[in-house]
Each structure stands twice: as C-alpha cells, then as structure tokens.
Amino acid sequence: MLADQVDELLARPLPWPIVQAGDPVLRAPARPYEGELTERALAELIEGMQVTMREAPGVGLAAPQIGLGVRIAVVEDGAHERPGVPAATLETRGIAPLPFRVLVNPVYQRLGDELAAFFEGCLSVAGWQAVVARPLRIRLTGQDETGAALDEQLSGWPARIVQHETDHLHGILYVDRAESRSLSTHEAVARCWAQPTPAEAARELGFELP
C-alpha cells in the first residue's frame, strides 16, 4: 500500500536515493493519487521530495524517481541561478523562474504546433544529456497538494520541466523522446555544446532539428 511505502521512505535519512534507469518503477505507469495519505504524511513526503530535488540538484522530481509509483511530482527552477550562463542563452532557451510547486495527477496538452529542441538531462539518467524536441507551449491541468485544481498555460523551459516530470508518471524517460545521436555526457555538453541552441551539435553529431 502507498501509505506503507511512504512510511518506510520517511524513516530514511534525507536526501533520498534517486532511482536510476533500468529500475522497473521508472517504466510502469504510475497510479493516480486518490488521497491515500494523511495530511501529515503527504506534507512530509512533499518536503522530502523538495529536499531531494534541491540536493541533487535538479529542477523537478517525480515520485517514481524515489520508488513510488504514484502520480505526484514537484518542480522548481530558480532560473537565473546558473552561474556562468549568459543572459542571452537563458532568453533563447526560454528559461524563466518556476516557483516551487506540487503537481498531483498532472496532465499536459500541447498548444500550437511550435516545437523547441534543446539538450535535456535527468536525475535518473545520471551523467548524460540529449536533445529533445518538445512543444513550446502547453496547458497543464491537475491538482496541487491541497486538492485545488490546476489549469494554466506554460511556455519555454517551465513547460519543458512540467512535460519531463509528467512523462515520468507515464513510465517515459526523456531518452525515449531524444535524438539518439545527440546523447552526450555532461562534460561533453559543457565543453562542446554550450551554445544557446543545439544547431552546431546537430551539424557535428549528425541529427536533425525540427
């Protein structure tokens, strides 16, 4: 039962280990959250996910990444807390602040035809990045941790983060959507592909951009 799994998780020290690719929990569609946890247990779970995400560090964490097959995720991006990244790069990539928030049973819907392709990484595929083309704008629906309805539009990097974390809840990893020839280590991306867009990487590594 979910409550028992959460109790076991809460008994462990923080930050919690992040499940890595190859574990079945990352490939199984998570079940909807239907209020199985007490208010206190849910609050402690969310706090633990926040600490784990920040310590990683990352900009999102889905429950399957800590071993829980339930449709809950947390996201947060300080946006400009990226030392050494030029402002022009942040603007080109659509990187904007995304305050900490909880997504319960989230669903996203593509808005418009425009795609944005950039290098993307994942805490559950440690050490690697690849170029992923995603819808530039989405509609997010679902609930927050209080049960209040979410219904809003997101664009740019915040939309990418929400898509990435929501995909986790369907058993989808970013590498499933990535250009396989773009797969690069963090070190290679920092050394060779730090340009605002992945256009040069596409030319040199032999893949196409949308």
More confident residue, 160 or 83: 160
In this predicted structure, the answer to whether residue 126 has a pLDDT above a threshold of 80 is yes
Model's pTM, two decimal places? 0.96
pLDDT for res 84: 76
Task: Please report, in range form, the residues annotated as the binding site.
Answer: 122, 164, 168
Query: Band of the pLDDT at 88, cuts 50, 70, 90?
Result: confident
For 10-32, what is each residue's pLDDT tens digit? 999 999 999 999 999 999 999 99
Domains of the chain are: 2-205 (3.90.45.10)
For 142-200, what is each residue's pLDDT tens digit? 999 999 999 999 999 999 999 999 999 999 999 999 999 999 999 999 999 999 999 99
Q: Catalytic residue, from 76, 120, 165, 179: name it.
A: 165
Mean pLDDT of 107-135: 98
pLDDT for res 163: 98
**Number of Cβ atoms within 10 Å of the Cβ of 166:** 23
**CA R_g for the chain:** 17
On the CB side of 126, how many CA atoms lie within 13 Å of its CA? 8
Q: How far is the C-alpha of 102 from the C-alpha of 4, rounded, in Å?
A: 21
Q: How far is the C-alpha of 120 from the C-alpha of 9, rounded, in Å?
A: 28
Q: How many residues does the chain have?
A: 210
Name the token pair of 112: 């418009």
In this predicted structure, the answer to whether residue 80 has a pLDDT above a threshold of 90 is no
* CA 194 vs CA 138, 188, 189: distances in Å: 26, 9, 6
Task: Please report, in range form, the residues annotated as the binding site for Fe cation.
Answer: 122, 164, 168
Phi, psi of 44 (to 5 degrees): -70, -35
Q: Are 124 and 21 in contact (CB under 8 A)?
A: yes
Percent of residues, the chain, with pLDDT higher than 90: 94
Active site residue 165: yes
